[in-house]
Amino acid sequence: MSIKLNINNAGLRSHELDQTRFLVEAAFHNLESKQGAGNDFLGWMDMDETAAQFAPGEFERIKAAAKKIQGQSQVLIAIGIGGSYLGARAALEFTGGSFYNQVAKRNGGIEVYFAGNNISSAYVSYLMQIIGDRDFSVNVISKSGTTTEPAVAFRIFKEKLEQKYGKEGAKDRIYATTDAKKGALRGLAEAEGYETFVVPDTTGGRFSVLTAVGLLPMAVGGMDIDAVMQGYRDARARYAVCDLDNNDVMRYAATRFIMMLKGKKIEILSNYEPALTQFGEWYKQLMAESEGKDQKGVFPVTANFTTDLHSIGQFIQDGSRTLFETVLWVEKSACDIAVPHDPANVDGLNFASGKTMQFMNEQAMHGTLLAHVDGGVPNLIITLDELNDHNFGELVFFFWKTLGVSAYMLGVNPFNQPGVEDYKKNMFALLGKPGYEDMKADLEARLNAVL
């Protein structure tokens, strides 16, 4: 088993978990029976390369396209935002570390960079410098096909491709991942003749990392996507049975719920491996966009330790007591470097010489755990045996299902995101997009009054 949950430091009284049993079991059944709110977006529960939500042969086409991209380019620019971006980046860093683009790659992997997740021209310009004169391909990813940020970035990189390779040559280097039938990107891809991949109707953005949305960039970067899917399948089997005492998805969801009832309304997902920084970003979107509705939900934040012990550590230890912490701990490091011995010992560090950094990291984790518990921050620990392709798929499903159960316990629909639309409408109106004319004058008057 590669994921273990420890709730011994959550400060629960012996009866507390037991008394959520009825609710957590009801939420679990609601999810499994596919009767709950948002039940037309449950594709993530049965996602498999052989399942109906992949178009026939899609999984093999993803692998073939990845090989083709690796053969034609040294760099892939994956363009997308939110659920069409966070998962693939989390996966590449989870398995390849913070410098995944610079270190040796497996399976013929090439460099993969991400664009279209902001509206910064400086960012695009730096990325252009990274590409330089090298060959590159583009994977534009948007389920709706109408999102502004990726649309802007795609125009820019498409133009660069066309300047470099001509219109025909560019077509052969553009891969579009979008809805099977609708949206501007689907129309453009068909008109131009790009190779396309499908975001299934039953799969919302933050549940799409194990479709072509995430799998194509992962495979291009050298990940073994068969192993990723096997991890997903293993987790699906492991957390299938409704049994609060033995199903860690249910124990985690129930504990989060109890934390919330106690006024612990902020969950910090902390890690001690920089390779997990982007996984934290993926988790934040998953939890916040799914649970934060109807004035309910646990607010998800992340902390990258030991780095952040030197910044937000003070608040965690001693600030307002509204926090609980879930530590993502990795047992086995990708490599283990020992602290060298220095006879002069001017820095006084010889007490640590010969000790491995992983051992020191573990002592930092243990010390922090006890300090935070003493400071009134309940701690949960999720232990992974190591960071590899299989475990990425497994952990993704673990969080998906926990979220599904948690949200149904709260009584919210985890599978929509109505709040994300509000800023988009205002931005479209201010930019003068047709159809939003009525809002523009009012917004401008409000801005003039306050800016």
What's the min distance (Å) between Cβ of 210 and ligand PA5?
A: 14
Print the binding letters for residues 63-82 with ligand PA5: x by CB under 6 A, - otherwise: ------------------xx
Does 16 qualify as catalytic in the annotation? Answer: no
Amino acid at 388: N
Does 341 qualify as catalytic in the annotation? Answer: no
Contact indicator for 280, 271 with CB cutoff of 8 Å: yes
Please report where in the chains the tokens 């860093």 appear, as a residue.
93
CA neighbours within 13 Å on the CB side: how many for 91? 36
Catalytic residue among 15, 168, 181, 310: 310
Does 372 qualify as catalytic in the annotation? Answer: no
Within the chain, what is the greatest distance between any pair of CA atoms?
Answer: 75
The residues in 153-212 that bind ligand PA5, with binding defined as CB under 6 A, are 204-206
Catalytic residue among 289, 291, 325, 394: 289
Q: With CA atoms as reference, report the closest residue to 273 among 165, 210, 394, 362.
A: 362
Q: With CA atoms as reference, report the closest residue to 36 among 313, 417, 404, 432.
A: 404
What's the min distance (Å) between Cβ of 142 and ligand PA5?
A: 3
CB count in 10 Å sphere of residue 35: 9
Task: Decide if residue 142 touches ligand PA5 (CB under 6 A).
Answer: yes
Contact indicator for 50, 177 with CB cutoff of 8 Å: no
Q: Which residues contact 90 (CB under 8 A, 6 or more apart)?
A: 209, 278, 279, 281, 282, 392
Task: Decide if residue 150 touches ligand PA5 (CB under 6 A).
Answer: yes
CA distance 359 to 350: 15
What's the min distance (Å) between Cβ of 178 and ligand PA5?
A: 8
Helix (H) or strand (E) holding 174: strand 174-178
What's the min distance (Å) between Cβ of 144 and ligand PA5?
A: 3
What's the min distance (Å) between Cβ of 55 and ligand PA5?
A: 17
Nearer to ligand PA5, 150 or 378 (CB): 150
Print the binding letters for residues 269-298 with ligand PA5: x by CB under 6 A, - otherwise: --------------------x---------
The residues in 77-136 that bind ligand PA5, with binding defined as CB under 6 A, are 81-84
For binding to ligand PA5 (CB under 6 A), which residues are involved?
A: 81-84, 142-144, 147, 150, 204-206, 289, 417, 420
Task: Give the catalytic positions in this structure.
Answer: 289, 310, 424
